[in-house]
Structure 1
């Protein structure tokens, strides 16, 4: 099974995927951007993600995107792809999973995680120094989550796959990482059902 996991930056995707790996060690977890960077290194000598966007002409960038999708699609077994449904650009949004990419990836499901923007801002505050993120208001984050929802449905339509929305907005955590654990359990259950077994 191939699952695409999407959420706004700072939502806790990495933590969720860590829990998935603990519950299901044989699953393959890939970061789409890492695959793109490896291809850009091999073909263009690019050394970091920022340079991909700054130094590659748009057509070359798109080519790298497509090559990454083709390589990921060939991976055997159960694969979870960590990527973005939409990318914030100059006050607007750019599709993270355009038709030409999603049709190459051929996922079975897109899992979209949504959170209270205040929770996301708290998580981002703990990441200070780890990531260089633009300051956003709760309203900015909510708008990005809405864009993600629209883009996820559009991608699912082109890729002919299901969308699952894990909406944690009105579900406060009773303990640290509870949302990540619930999301991980949901993903593991999806995979186990596709294998014909129950976790």
Structure 2
């Protein structure tokens, strides 16, 4: 299976993927932005993501996006692709998974993780100094999660794949990282069901 995993920044995707790797060590986990950066380094001498966004003309940036999708699509076995359904830009949102990318990626599923905005704000507060993020209100975060839903469904339509929504808004954590563990178990279950269906 190829699964695209999306959530707003600070949702705990990295922690969730760490648990997935512990539960199912043979799954390949790839970061879409890392693939883009490697291609931009090879072809344009770009050294980091900020430089890639600022220096590459839009047409070249789109080419890099497409080349990354082509490379990821060729990966064998079960693959989880860590990326964004929507990207916040100047008060609006930009599609993270446009049709031309979905046509090349051809994933089996998009998994969308959603949380109580207060939980996300708490997680982001722990990241202070580690990541440079703009301050957002709970309403801003909820709006981004709503945008993610719309963009995930649009992307699924273009890629002809399923969307799974893991909504943790009403699930209060009884211990740290419980949400991430729960999400990881749900992703692993999805992969194992996919494996048994192909036997």
Task: Look up the match of 2:72.
Answer: 72
Q: Where does residue 161 of structure 2 map in the other structure? A: 161
User: What is aligned with 1:23?
Assistant: 23
Deviations 1:129-170 (A, max 9, x none): 111011111110000000000000000000000000001111
Q: Which runs of 5+ in 2 are unaligned?
A: none
- Separation in 2, partners of 1:127, 1:59: 33
| Structure 2 counterpart of 1:195 | 195
TM-score by structure 2 length?
0.98
What is the root-mean-square deviation of aligned Cα atoms in Å?
0.7
Matched with 1:133 is: 133
Residue in 2 that maps onto 1:13: 13
The superposition leaves residues 11-47 of structure 1 with CA deviations (integer Å, 9 ceiling, x where unpaired) of: 0000000000000000000000000000000000000
- Long gaps (5+) in structure 1: none
Counterparts of 1:84 and 1:11 in 2: how far apart (Å)? 12
Give secondary structure in 2 for the equivalent of 1:5.
Answer: strand
Q: Deviations over 1:87-107 (max 9, x none)?
A: 000000000000000110000
* Secondary structure of residue in 2 paired with 1:196: helix
User: Distance between the aligned counterparts of 1:160 and 1:180, measured in 2?
Assistant: 27
Tell me, yes or no, if structure 1 residue 90 matches structure 2 residue 97: no
- Within a 5 Å distance, the mapping from 1:31-110 to structure 2 comes to 31-110=31-110
